[in-house]
Structure 1
Amino acid sequence: MSGSSHTSLAVHDDGLAVITLDRQGSSANLLSSGVLDEIEGHLNALDKRSGVSGLVFVSAKSGIFIAGADLTEFAAGLDQSDEEVQRVSQRGQQLLGRLATCGYVTVAAIDGICVGGGAELAVWCDRRILTTSSKTQFGFPEVKLGLFPGWGGTARTPRMIGLSNAVELVTGGESVGAHEAAKLGLAEDLVSDAEGLIDAARRMVAAESDSGDYLADRKAWSDPITIDPTELGFLGATASAYIQGQTGGHYPAPLAALELMLEASQVDLEAACEMESQRFAPLFGSPVNRSLLNVFFLQDRAKKTDVGSRQSPDESSEHWQHARRVSVIGAGIMGQGIAAANVKRGIAVSMSDMREESLLAGISGVVREASYNKQTKSVDAELAIERSALVDAALSDAELGWADIVIEAVVENLEVKHQLFERLERHLGERTILCSNTSTIPISQLAEGLAHPDRFCGLHFFNPVRKMPLVEVIRGKRTSEATIAAMAYYARRLGKTPVIVNDGPGFLVNRLLLPYMNEAALLVSEGVPIKDVERAAKDFGMPMGPITLYDVVGLDTCLHAGGVMLEAFPDRVVPATIVERLVEAGRLGQKNGRGFFDYPSAKPGKPPKGVPSDEAAKLIDEDRRRAEVDAPIVDRLMLPMLLEATRAVEDGVAADVRDVDLALILGIGFPPHKGGLFHWADTIGAAAILERLKPLEPLGERFRPTALLTQVAADGGKFYDLSHSTGGEKETIL
């Protein structure tokens, strides 16, 4: 056996060679340049041996075959020239391409994650065997980083599984499980577990060596793809239209991959690889690539640390073992969503509500959501029976107090919550953590009167809970760090991403969202057509326009939240009175079919479509205010959000600009192709932002440059240079 630091080569007596991937010091195998060098060394060693019957790649890591290339290494090379990037691409193609030309059968024996560069290694092999484990996933997620496969994936895959299948796999960026991979032709054999991979590979090598089928496939997969020109044109047109609809034109990689694969289908494999490396180079290091890499690193950072926390518990500590039972008080939409998130993860839930009929309806809703099957678009009856055992009704405060975590999700009223906590706290266990899902009431204010404020924090889920990945974990003045750490881990157990923030009006996400929405309403009152405001936001990349967002959230809800911000920051908040007018007229948004838009009809399973409203237009005209400045709409919308974000960092509500960026991407859908609010600001430059603020100065305090913005501009630096929550550890700055 020969070994290196991350891989080892063993040749068995029957001539079967096995390269085992086991990246040291990491839970995942990544194809770094060092790992590629080791693989090259093993292939060179095998070339010098006789009697090799086959080569099998296998991973020593449970649940992970290869999780792609080393993106930290990639990020370090973003400033390379196109020629240098092409050479990196060609080097990968040539090395992995040896797996399709060597004198023996090559097999990728895959258990767990096989994506990106790992999937490219696999498709260069003659054959693939996958385990049917739920962890086994095969795919090309490169478009989610603003790229497409650059080591031969776009050239080899269409020849193996067909052009249409490859287009969907590569341009969509989604992974498939083992059974779907087999249907597509990405797997020639399936086994139940990793223990069976080597034996299955040995049988496959013997069969292929006898039949020679792999040699015929090598030749066929080197030739141009045979496809009718009409079919090719139809595929291109339909796929292009779909991609445009999905990306809004903000993400160039999927279209570039489509065009590449369509054209490369008409040439041989060698030429297709050359085309791939040439077209890969301009995408690498592009603004979108840098932004999406930044999002990746933000999410990776959140997995490794409690974002915004002063301490992270060790996995063996009691905090990481907390929460076997959770109580949820309030059986409304949010309470149901929170309870269902727990049930889906196998955590038992007790629910409570003031009204018995609401409680019964809430429990039914929890079971329905927790057992919903996305594929069949219906409730899985068997799963419903299983999961119904995990949720019950608590008929007394004492029953609620048995839980490890108690989450309050009742009406947004300070007095109601105080009365609830006073009644409930006497029944809580010595370690029970009490949380509030409030979106507006300060946590420290809610904690007044509690005997154990150290075991109380905010746990702000976003609606709808089943879709929104963010949870704000809010630290009150007297909340212990152990409580914060435990709740951050609990959020991860639910499959959510926690961002830890300090207490303050609106916490973090709502504090930054409301100035953006308020400015949109002010623009409308100044006579800017709603469609222009909506278009400016969507052209920037926001998932929906801010006026539509008002209707989705509910104008009464927005009015209440806006009042909280006005009370907290009266010096800079200019209330958009049109919102109050609409609420007084009974126009609350989608919830009652009348808001800024009218919603005359709604189709089941689809969001209601708004149409212009004559009544709303009349109310807007009556609320008309004088336009004081002439500036781009997008600046009016986005710069208030940025300025409020700098204030949140100055105030210590957010510990790091990266916390802000991740929270906004996950919490409001801030466009990933911008990389985050502060990342976007860094691409413009602080000095340039100061210039863009000058025409807006007549609008008052809300557009006044903050000390943080002025400091960054004076230093000629970036907001990301200010990172201070990682204990001095250097982070990747793109």
Structure 2
Amino acid sequence: MSLLNAKKALELGIVDELVEKDDLISRAESICLELAADPDWKTRPHGAVPDAPEKQEKYFKMMERTLRIKTKGNYPAPVKALESIKTGLTQGIEKGHEFEARAFAELSFSETARNMIFLFFTTEFYKMSAAAKAGKQGSAPIKTVGIIGGGIMGTNIASWAAIRGYDVVVKAASDARQDLMMETVTNNVKRAEKADVEGEEGKAPGSIKSAKSFEDLADVDLLVEACAEVLETKIDILSKVLPILKSSTIVATNTSSLSVNELVEKLGAKHEFFGIHFFHPVDRMPLVEVIPAKNAGKESQSKVLAFLAALDKLPLPVKDSTCFLVNRLLCCYINESARLVDLGTAINWIDDAAIDFGMPLGPWGVTDEVGMDVALLVADSLQDNIGERFTKPACLKGVKDIGIIGKRHGRGLYLWDESGRNTGMNPDLANLLKLNVSEEKAPPEECKRLAQHILLPMIDEAARCLDEKVVRRPREVDVATVMGMGFPPFRGGLLKYADSLGIPYVIEKLEEIYQEPGPHREVSSYLKQMAATGRSFYSSGKDAD
């Protein structure tokens, strides 16, 4: 919700009186003395518009309606807070406090509160652990960061590092983009300063230096390569810069799908190496997947985790595996949605179902944000390396063939105007690809069915990721899905949601889904074993020690 100015707050009855700044203290003292002289002040109703209760009631109804639209009924606390304010204004402050206390107690024991508290403490745990590990190592922290790559991702990483107080040296992959990269990073930092976005512990922004050649990167503590997601391109650039770097420089490649160890082997790299996967947009997405190569030591890992934590990111160590964790699950989500389209489901109903479930964007909105070209690159990698269950559905191939890219080109599965506003489904989906686009809204029961259809296979894939030690704990999956792909926080994460359904129910529905036309799939042995032993993701079950 947007902030209110003082006059609007007075009009709405949120404050009782406005005064000039110079008169604030004296008027506050006067009000305190008046209250102290009136023994009944606590029970007296107050408000800026006591003589117009119908006007006040109108405003409260409007605000409640706005809150319910914004929260979609999934977050009850804001509505209860509004009701507390209303009670205090109309019935007196003691009644307001009583209502607030009862509401707080009621909300504190709700499933939504438990899930939100779980996510808060888990997120803080990973951030604090990253800083603590670096402290235990006792080694010199990262101070200077070199960024190679003048695209959106490289520019945003450089900007955010400088905003948080690191000295940054930027080098675009081509001379043509160097000036633009330098200008954009500098402007981003100036805007952040103006908006009072402070660095770690109130530090001033770091310096920004433009590298004329790779030699200007020689003394950086951390080098982040953020060029195109093409193995050959990364090898070409890194093979030129690695011989120049000091031996203690830690090297990281920003990648969403490429094998870090394969890159190290092809380069014959001696520097300790990491994959880091920032999510777009860098300034708003908190998760960063961290993929240590085989040659990365504990000390360098601690440094990288501490650096990312200082950027106010959530660094999550992930095993070097095909597309890591989030993109593997996200591709499963998009593939399952596309299979429904191939079976005749209205394409817009699928996005409606996901948003109704609580996702900020449906699978098609997400695909437009990341770009169909990037999404298909990830899908191809998973199909090539994992096999049949990641076979691309026909409609995705069709979308590629007619040149749909995504939001950054203004033409994706949706059409986008110059301001980035969604103007509706792309008519080519129906006109050229003959996909089903419905003018009607999906019925609530159909939304529920479709949401489970696209989400339950993702639970199965997450179970496989745990089995393969891509990550080791269910909470890591849950934090990653909330912070990296927008899974609704009020549900606690993907595997918390699975537990709320019950593992036997998840398996039953998965078996129904896997019988539909498409690639051969079977429920993972990990899920079957959980059901056989009575376990859930967050309980040990009957056969546990």
Q: TM-score, normalised by structure 1?
A: 0.64
* Match runs of 1:546-585 below 5 Å: 546-585=363-402
Is 273-282 or 430-439 further displaced after alignment?
Answer: 273-282
- The change in CA–CA distance for 1:614 and 1:623 in structure 2 (over 3 A counts) is closer
8 Å contact 1:208–1:214 — kept in the other structure? no
CA deviation string 1:678-724 (max 9, x = no partner): 1111122212212222312314677522222222222223212469x
Aligned partner (choices 44, 49, 68) of residue 223 of structure 1: 44
In the TM superposition, what is the alpha-carbon distance from 1:428 to its structure 2 partner? 1.4
8 Å contact 2:272–2:293 — kept in the other structure? no
Whether 1:638 aligns to 2:455 is yes
8 Å contact 1:454–1:483 — kept in the other structure? no
Name the counterpart of 2:64.
Answer: 240
Whether 1:506 aligns to 2:318 is no
Whether 1:520 aligns to 2:520 is no
CA distance in 2, matches of 1:615, 1:300: 45
In the TM superposition, what is the alpha-carbon distance from 1:653 to its structure 2 partner? 0.9
Which residue identity does 1:262 align to in structure 2?
A: K
Which residue identity does 2:320 align to in structure 1?
A: D
Aligned partner (choices 706, 713, 720) of residue 524 of structure 2: 706
Aligned partner (choices 72, 78, 83) of residue 254 of structure 1: 78
8 Å contact 1:470–1:497 — kept in the other structure? yes
Name the counterpart of 2:347.
Answer: 530
Name the counterpart of 2:100.
Answer: 276
Name the counterpart of 1:347.
Answer: 166
Name the counterpart of 1:315.
Answer: 135
* Match runs of 1:678-717 below 5 Å: 678-699=495-516, 704-717=522-535
8 Å contact 1:582–1:619 — kept in the other structure? no
- The change in CA–CA distance for 1:544 and 1:414 in structure 2 (over 3 A counts) is same
Is 568-577 or 695-704 further displaced after alignment?
Answer: 695-704
CA deviation string 1:525-544 (max 9, x = no partner): 22111221011101110001
CA distance in 2, matches of 1:529, 1:218: 65
CA distance in 2, matches of 1:610, 1:701: 34
Q: Percent identity?
A: 30
- The change in CA–CA distance for 1:580 and 1:341 in structure 2 (over 3 A counts) is same
CA distance in 1, matches of 2:409, 2:96: 55
Q: Which has the higher helix share?
A: 2
CA distance in 2, matches of 1:296, 1:216: 44
CA distance in 2, matches of 1:338, 1:218: 59
CA distance in 2, matches of 1:464, 1:297: 24
Aligned partner (choices 480, 486, 491) of residue 674 of structure 1: 491
* Match runs of 1:83-482 below 5 Å: 164=12, 212=33, 215-216=36-37, 219-226=40-47, 227=50, 228-306=52-130, 313-315=133-135, 317-319=137-139, 321-372=140-191, 390-452=207-269, 455-482=272-299
CA deviation string 1:63-99 (max 9, x = no partner): xxxxxxxxxxxxxxxxxxxxxxxxxxxxxxxxxxxxx
User: How many residue pairs end up in the alignment?
Assistant: 510
8 Å contact 1:649–1:656 — kept in the other structure? yes
CA distance in 1, matches of 2:277, 2:37: 58
8 Å contact 1:551–1:588 — kept in the other structure? yes
CA distance in 1, matches of 2:469, 2:504: 23
Structure 2 counterpart SS, 1:575: coil
Cα RMSD after superposing both structures: 3.3
- The change in CA–CA distance for 1:289 and 1:217 in structure 2 (over 3 A counts) is farther
8 Å contact 1:643–1:703 — kept in the other structure? no
Aligned partner (choices 605, 609, 614) of residue 422 of structure 2: 609
- The change in CA–CA distance for 1:531 and 1:672 in structure 2 (over 3 A counts) is same
Which residue identity does 1:539 align to in structure 2?
A: D
- The change in CA–CA distance for 1:689 and 1:402 in structure 2 (over 3 A counts) is same
CA distance in 1, matches of 2:11, 2:499: 40
Which residue identity does 1:367 align to in structure 2?
A: T
CA distance in 2, matches of 1:216, 1:685: 60
8 Å contact 2:160–2:311 — kept in the other structure? yes
- The change in CA–CA distance for 1:464 and 1:531 in structure 2 (over 3 A counts) is same
- The change in CA–CA distance for 1:237 and 1:270 in structure 2 (over 3 A counts) is closer
In the TM superposition, what is the alpha-carbon distance from 1:353 to its structure 2 partner? 1.9
- The change in CA–CA distance for 1:701 and 1:481 in structure 2 (over 3 A counts) is farther
8 Å contact 1:302–1:498 — kept in the other structure? yes
CA distance in 1, matches of 2:469, 2:195: 46
In the TM superposition, what is the alpha-carbon distance from 1:432 to its structure 2 partner? 0.5
- The change in CA–CA distance for 1:351 and 1:223 in structure 2 (over 3 A counts) is same
CA distance in 2, matches of 1:582, 1:682: 35
Aligned partner (choices 433, 445, 454) of residue 620 of structure 1: 433
Name the counterpart of 1:153.
Answer: none
Is 213-222 or 445-454 further displaced after alignment?
Answer: 213-222
8 Å contact 2:84–2:97 — kept in the other structure? no
Q: Gaps (5+ residues) in structure 1?
A: 1-160, 168-181, 190-203, 380-385, 625-629, 724-734
Whether 1:491 aligns to 2:315 is no
8 Å contact 1:437–1:460 — kept in the other structure? yes
CA distance in 2, matches of 1:481, 1:184: 58
In the TM superposition, what is the alpha-carbon distance from 1:297 to its structure 2 partner? 1.9
CA deviation string 1:211-242 (max 9, x = no partner): 84561487534421243213312321221132
8 Å contact 2:345–2:436 — kept in the other structure? no
Q: Gaps (5+ residues) in structure 2?
A: 1-8, 198-203, 438-445
In the TM superposition, what is the alpha-carbon distance from 1:619 to its structure 2 partner? 3.6
- The change in CA–CA distance for 1:453 and 1:608 in structure 2 (over 3 A counts) is farther
Which residue identity does 2:347 align to in structure 1?
A: I
8 Å contact 1:295–1:662 — kept in the other structure? yes
Structure number with higher relative contact order (C-alpha < 8 Å, ≥ 6 residues apart): 2
- The change in CA–CA distance for 1:292 and 1:702 in structure 2 (over 3 A counts) is farther
- The change in CA–CA distance for 1:588 and 1:261 in structure 2 (over 3 A counts) is same
Name the counterpart of 2:440.
Answer: none
In the TM superposition, what is the alpha-carbon distance from 1:668 to its structure 2 partner? 1.1
Which residue identity does 1:610 align to in structure 2?
A: T
CA distance in 1, matches of 2:367, 2:82: 37
- The change in CA–CA distance for 1:374 and 1:578 in structure 2 (over 3 A counts) is farther
CA distance in 1, matches of 2:176, 2:270: 32
Q: TM-score, normalised by structure 2?
A: 0.85
In the TM superposition, what is the alpha-carbon distance from 1:457 to its structure 2 partner? 0.5
Structure 2 counterpart SS, 1:436: strand
Structure 2 counterpart SS, 1:479: coil
CA distance in 1, matches of 2:108, 2:239: 57
Is 221-230 or 669-678 further displaced after alignment?
Answer: 221-230
8 Å contact 1:350–1:394 — kept in the other structure? yes
Greater Rg by CA: 1
In the TM superposition, what is the alpha-carbon distance from 1:373 to its structure 2 partner? 5.0
Which residue identity does 1:236 align to in structure 2?
A: F
8 Å contact 1:508–1:648 — kept in the other structure? yes
